[in-house]
Structure 1
Amino acid sequence: MKKIVLFLGSVLLLASCDVKDPIYNTPHPDHGMITLTTDWSQRGTGIDIPASYTVQAGDYSTTLGDATNRIDHLFEPGTYRTYIYNTPEQVSTSGTTATVAAASGNWDGVGAFVAASPGWLFTCAMDAVIEKDTDYELIATMQQQVRQLTLIIAPTGSTTDRIERIEGYLSGVAGTLDFSTGIHATPANVELQFAKITSGANAGKYAATVRLLGVAGEQQKLNAIIHFMGGNPKVMSLGSDLTTELAAFNADKTKPLTLGGKVVETPTGADFSATITDWTPGNGEDGEDGSAGMETNH
């Protein structure tokens, strides 16, 4: 009997030695973890990398600051639609829709206005497929979503020295952007404050610069008024359809766009109107870099 007991004990000992503990690749065998690197190289000259940005992956959300971060969250296995974006000045975000702040315009009855100088918005939309017991290194290429537009007008004629100011607005600018689908929507207006250029090749011309999420709607139109000192002439109204010139504005947002137009003649009478035509990208100088002719009506 004693020999049988010892034999059974040996069998049990050998059996226990054959049972191995599971081997895992990570300390989180049932979940996945992400190390995220944001690539900010696709941005315009002189634009800073945002100090912070938001990461939204499924129901999880966090705010980060460094270019590379190990996200402090255990992800269940699955596919996560992931959105990464910053929140610049005068831009708000709800879900995947960015909205430019409203602004007051000096033009009654033409519709809503949006801020003329929102901050630089960057976004990224990507899918992250997560498996358990895995560490992931993801790279998010951030896309610049705000583009700079400059319009330069070159008045000519006998009354240019009496110009007091030029003011106007551009219609058909995007008030919202769904950065999940890339759809620009909610057409609005943006006010243009033209300032006289006092030095350089464009001295004597007038320029207005704005920042836009993009263009939206069927038409983009410049409407402006030239005011003269002493009210002589009283005013001159300017109008120009820029739909064709801005058709590709929503692409290549890292590149500022300048459109130059020349006023062929500044009328000396009152209540004149004018239409600027033949807009060309450039700085508005004569010749190859872009100028526009003007048709006058009264």
Structure 2
Amino acid sequence: MKDMKITITLLCICATLFLAGCDVKDPIYNTPHPDKGAIVITADWTQRGEGIATPAKYILEAAGTSFTLHEPVAALAGLFVPGRTELLGYNPAEHVTVKDGVATVDNDPDNAGLQHPDPGVLLGGTVTADVVADDTVSVVLPMRQLFRKIAFEVAINGGDSRRIVGIEARLEGVAPSVDLRTGEVTGSAAAVPVPFVLSAEKLTGTVWVPGMIPGAVQRMVVALTFMDGMKDMVETDFSEMFKDFNTDKLHPMRLTGDVYAPVNSETGGTIIGWTETSGGDVNAGME
């Protein structure tokens, strides 16, 4: 009987030691992805001009993957290796091609060799996320306006506006591309057509451009065609007027001028002056 008690005691001790040796706890993780991290992004659209709507969707590029997002706050549908990850965002614009972080305005199909005058408003930006394993990091992506609007208005000052049957105009020295990361314009100087419309004794036209190429000549070329076939072409150097164009893309640039529509076959339909109405009196002296 004594031997049996000793045996039972020894068995209990062995069982206790065995269970103690097997008491290995599983590691506790915060997420289902302990070796990778998640990213939540908040798009900040405040750096846009008055009247510019928040884009309905935007593209976000990260770690070789492209995401299409619709909400200002969104969790990216993917996991990322711990470390620094660049996030590049921009809204899709109808006549803009984005490649390697550079947005380029497409050519205008109606004007060979010229870039599209209405590519849409482009906003974009970049931010770096410090991804942490087994965690979710939140970052704010500032999306700034990268294109600027130029509005032209030419008043018909005297003569007969009905005699104007055609107008072709282009602005030279514009930038075709912009770097989404830095906001700096890139590429060689290009030209954009200005689609003027005659209405209520005025010629009005609007273009959107990424900016002006520094050091290039910004030149406006206007060709008027009159009812009797007479043509009048005027070139104006706008370089001084556009020297600070790239520094403020949130506010449109407005340029006004006036033109005389000659009666019969008389001459003198030249634009006689350009003034920047939103940035002080700058007259190009076109006579």
- TM-score bin, normalised by smaller chain: 0.7 to 0.9
Q: What corresponds to 2:76 in structure 1?
A: 71
Q: Does residue 228 in structure 1 map to residue 203 in structure 2? A: no
- Give the TM-score taking structure 2 as reference length: 0.83
Distance 1:41 1:182 in 2: 16
AA matched with 1:147: R
Q: What corresponds to 2:13 in structure 1?
A: 7
Distance 2:115 2:267 in 1: 29
Q: What corresponds to 1:190 in structure 2?
A: 192
2:236 and 2:284 in contact (8 A); partners too: no
State the superposition RMSD in angstroms: 2.9
1:164 and 1:229 in contact (8 A); partners too: yes
1:121-200 maps to which residues of 2 (within 5 A)? 121-158=122-159, 162-186=163-187, 187-198=189-200
Larger radius of gyration: 2
Change (3 A) 1:32 1:93: same
Q: What corresponds to 1:248 in structure 2?
A: 244
Describe the superposition over 1:77-104 as per-residue Cα deviations: whole angstroms up to 9, x where unpaired.
Answer: 0111111112211111112121211125
Q: Does residue 22 in structure 1 map to residue 27 in structure 2? A: yes
Distance 2:219 2:226 in 1: 23
Q: Give unmatched runs, 5+ long, in structure 2.
A: 1-5
1:260 and 1:292 in contact (8 A); partners too: no
Distance 2:228 2:184 in 1: 47
2:258 and 2:274 in contact (8 A); partners too: no
Q: Give unmatched runs, 5+ long, in structure 1.
A: 199-203, 283-287
Shift of 1:170: 0.3
Q: What corresponds to 2:209 in structure 1?
A: 212
Distance 1:275 1:156 in 2: 10
Describe the superposition over 1:51-83 as per-residue Cα deviations: whole angstroms up to 9, x where unpaired.
Answer: 322211122222222222211211110111111
Change (3 A) 1:85 1:158: closer
Shift of 1:189: 0.7
Describe the superposition over 1:238-297 as per-residue Cα deviations: whole angstroms up to 9, x where unpaired.
Answer: 11111222222223323221022345x677877779686663233xxxxx975736453x
Change (3 A) 1:42 1:295: closer
AA matched with 1:292: N
Describe the superposition over 1:6-34 as per-residue Cα deviations: whole angstroms up to 9, x where unpaired.
Answer: 334333434544x4432322232211111
Q: Percent identity between the aligned chains? A: 31
Q: Does residue 292 in structure 1 map to residue 283 in structure 2? A: yes
Q: How many residues align?
A: 278
- Give the TM-score taking structure 1 as reference length: 0.80
